[in-house]
Amino acid sequence: MTTVSIDADIKAKWPQGHSSYSPGSPEELAIISIDLLVKELGADAAHTFIAQIFEKYPSEHKGSSALERE
C-alpha cells in the first residue's frame, strides 16, 4: 500500500484575478488542476484533454482506493 501526501503552495494568476491553493492529497490536487484547466481551456477542451489521460490506463487498472489509504 502506498500513501501519497502533497506539500504544495499553488498561486494561479489570470487577468480576472488570482487564487491560492494548498492541496494535501492527490485528490485535492486533481480537483484544483481540473478547475484551472476548465478556466483556461473551457469545459469541452478540458474534457478532451482529460480523456487523453484516461486513455493511458486500461479500464482494469486499479490505483489504491481512499479506503486502502486510511
Sequence spans of domains, the chain: 10-60
| 66 vs 70: CA distance, rounded Å | 7
Beta strand 17-21 pairing with 10-14: antiparallel
Task: Tell whether pTM > 0.75.
Answer: no
Is residue 64 predicted with pLDDT exceeding 70? Answer: no
Mean pLDDT of 27-36: 92
Is residue 67 predicted with pLDDT exceeding 60? Answer: no
- pLDDT, residue 69, reads 45
Taking each helix axis as running N to C, give the angle between helix 26-41 and helix 43-55, from 0 to 180 degrees, rounded to the nearest 10: 130
Give me the percent of the chain exceeding a pLDDT of 70.
83
